[in-house]
Chain A
Amino acid sequence: EPEVTQTPSHQVTQMGQEVILRCVPISNHLYFYWYRQILGQKVEFLVSFYNNEISEKSEIFDDQFSVERPDGSNFTLKIRSTKLEDSAMYFCASSEYDSNQPQHFGDGTRLSIL
């Protein structure tokens, strides 16, 4: 069964550094998402992406965040200047047609900011 893959599984970064989280969505999916889960808390929406542009973003997704689809397969989340509070599990998800189809999630990248 096709799946969403995320790399790396764990990223440790010094505060203030830039970090790029990578995702390969399911190949025939058109909608892509990033969510964040701070340890022990609920999963929160960051941004959705369709047709090479942002569809919707939450209040969390401020100017330090950006997303990109650099080629036909990868979907990346960049955090420009990481803060301690960016430490979380970051999930990539993709879906067919629109978000009312099930979103299939990757295994997540655990980001630890020191």
Chain B
Amino acid sequence: AQKVTQAQTEISVVEKEDVTLDCVYETRDTTYYLFWYKQPPSGELVFLIRRNSFDEQNEISGRYSWNFQKSTSSFNFTITASQVVDSAVYFCALSGPGNTPLVFGKGTRLSVIA
């Protein structure tokens, strides 16, 4: 069975601080895909990144970066120099090969205080 654990329920940081959101996953598949989605207060789900299990290269996109480590089954997300607009719930998700549904973690609520 697939499982995603986001141990941090809520994080609060002061603007311009760096913050890392943790994601640990469980799967028996050798091919799988990891995702991060952002859910701002308005409620929509915004796709941030997709990573396949064969690509452990870290990725940076502006202030966002992702650290994928298969050895620890983790796919952590770091926001550098956080801003108030980063305040949202962030979900990590996992899917297996083929047309399998996304399995979401419980989310981490990030509050960035000015």
Contact = CB atoms under 8 A, between A and B. Distances in A.
Interface string A37-80: 00001111100101000011010000000000000000000000
Interface in B22-81: 33, 35, 37, 42-47, 50, 52
Given A89-B43, A106-B44, A108-B45, A43 B104 contact: yes
Contacts of A89: 43
Nearest to A99: B99
Chain A binding site: helix, strand, loop or mixed by DSSP?
strand
Contacts of B97: 100
Interface in B95-114: 95, 97-107
Contacts of B35: 102-103
Nearest to B97: A100
A65 B35 CA distance: 27
12 contacts: A43-B102, A45-B103, A55-B99, A56-B99, A58-B101, A99-B99, A102-B50, A104-B47, A105-B44, A106-B44, A108-B43, A110-B43
Interface of A: 31, 33, 35, 41-45, 48, 50, 55-56, 58, 89, 91, 93, 98-108, 110
Please provide the 4 A-B residue pairs with the shortest distance between their CB atoms, ordered closest to farther.
A45-B101, A105-B45, A107-B44, A43-B104
